[in-house]
Structure 1
Amino acid sequence: MIKLIGTGVWILAITLASVYFSLKMASSPKVDAAAAEREAAMEFVTGYTTTVPVIGADGVNGYLLTRLAYKANKELAAKQVVPLPQMITDELYTLLVGNKLIDVNAAGSFDLEAFRGVVKEGLNRRFGAEVIAEVYVEQIDYLTTASVDNPPLKQGVTLLKGEVPSGEAQGSSGH
């Protein structure tokens, strides 16, 4: 009987100690007020899918499809005359076509962090202020002109074959 009571007291002590320490550890974390203020001043901007032609010596070799997103300063973005997504799209054309930032022939040497840095720097230079805080890459694809001109044949099931007769009037069921 004494062993049973001792075991119960032991379990009770362990339970109380674990609850005490879990509550002590779960106390509110210390928040950096300046960092929280900076985050509150930011907004997430989703960019458009941008299709940029890749021009070579013999014309258009393919198309580069990019979709980027941005963390931008709300106040500075609101002061811009041109809406942010349109200005971002224009700057991407400048960076990707004018500067040939991405070399599709050497795709293995692509540096994603450098690309993000150049895009962020180019956009902030264009805005004249530190509007863009971070650049997120959602998609970067390359389509050759051959794949666009000759897409693979779709294999599927024919649901309806033939034409709708044009001689019958609709709703002539006699009712």
Structure 2
Amino acid sequence: MIKLVLTGVWVCVVTLAAVYFSVQLATAPTTDPNAAKTPTQEFVKGEQINIPVISNDGVSGYFLTKVSFMMNKDKAKDLPLPLVELTTDQLFTLLVGNKMIDIAHPNSFKLDEFRSDIKKNMNERLGGDYIASVLVEQIDYLSKDEIRSNASGPVKKNMKPVKVVQGDPVPEGADKSTE
């Protein structure tokens, strides 16, 4: 009779231990071996930048731009140069110096080429592979005549800029950082 009771207790202990450890393994978080290899990226929000368009007669209008970046989180902390000023310089170079956008034909603008130029030139100036991707949130154009007509009379809410590109959405779940 004692052997039967000890056998029953032994079976109960083994069963409870097996259930406990199976539940622990089932609820344990899985580790992805590729997650450790890929660096985490951080969303660096850009600022609104107004770039004048200069022609023979002077300023003919303004580009209203907003460009943000996805950067390696570890490298973003150790930037050798201020990102906002570098972005402003790069946008002046591409939009005013190289004249990538023809205002008469805004549909001819190549957004992918614009993004790759910004990424390549910014990484060269920063001295490494800092920028993972470029997010163009806004590129609009306001002519000088539209600005003057709005400034000369009562404030009009119907001033419509020329939409050069439709902006990229801000990535979901991205760590937001303003610098």
Question: What's the TM-score bracket when you normalise by the shorter of the two chains?
Answer: 0.5 to 0.7
Which whole-Å CA distance do the structure 2 matches of 1:124 and 1:99 have between them? Answer: 19
Which whole-Å CA distance do the structure 2 matches of 1:73 and 1:64 have between them? Answer: 29
Which whole-Å CA distance do the structure 2 matches of 1:35 and 1:53 have between them? Answer: 44
Q: Secondary structure of 2:129's match?
A: coil
Which whole-Å CA distance do the structure 2 matches of 1:124 and 1:45 have between them? Answer: 15
In structure 1, the gaps of 5 or more residues are: 1-29, 157-175
Aligned residues: 129
Which whole-Å CA distance do the structure 2 matches of 1:87 and 1:155 have between them? Answer: 34
Which whole-Å CA distance do the structure 1 matches of 2:85 and 2:156 have between them? Answer: 38
Deviation digits for residues 36-77 of structure 1, max 9, x if unmatched?
Answer: 64252x211011111111111211110001101110122323
Q: Secondary structure of 1:103's match?
A: coil
Which whole-Å CA distance do the structure 2 matches of 1:155 and 1:78 have between them? Answer: 43
Q: Secondary structure of 1:52's match?
A: strand
In structure 2, the gaps of 5 or more residues are: 1-29, 158-179
After TM superposition, list the pairs within 5 Å mapping 1:82-161 onto structure 2.
82-151=81-150, 153-154=154-155
Q: Secondary structure of 2:93's match?
A: helix
- Higher relative contact order structure (alpha carbons within 8 Å, sequence separation ≥ 6): 2
User: CA RMSD for the aligned pairs?
Assistant: 2.7
TM-score (norm 1): 0.63
1:35 Cα deviation after fit: 5.1
Which whole-Å CA distance do the structure 1 matches of 2:83 and 2:36 have between them? Answer: 24
Closer, same or farther: CA 155–140 of 1 in aligned 2, 3 Å: closer
* Residue 38 (structure 1) aligns with: 38
Which whole-Å CA distance do the structure 2 matches of 1:64 and 1:99 have between them? Answer: 14
Which whole-Å CA distance do the structure 1 matches of 2:91 and 2:36 have between them? Answer: 30
Which whole-Å CA distance do the structure 1 matches of 2:96 and 2:79 have between them? Answer: 24
1:31 Cα deviation after fit: 7.6
Which whole-Å CA distance do the structure 2 matches of 1:52 and 1:46 have between them? Answer: 18
Structure 2 contact 39–73 (Cα < 8 Å) conserved: no
Letter in 2 for 1:148: I
Structure 1 contact 64–143 (Cα < 8 Å) conserved: yes
Deviation digits for residues 85-134 of structure 1, max 9, x if unmatched?
Answer: 22222222222222222222221111111111111111111112111111
Structure 2 contact 53–96 (Cα < 8 Å) conserved: yes
1:155 Cα deviation after fit: 6.9
What percent of counterpart residues are identical? 42
Query: Which consecutive segments of 4 or more residues in structure 1 shift more than 4 A?
Result: none
* Residue 77 (structure 1) aligns with: 76
Larger Rg, first or second structure (1 or 2): 1
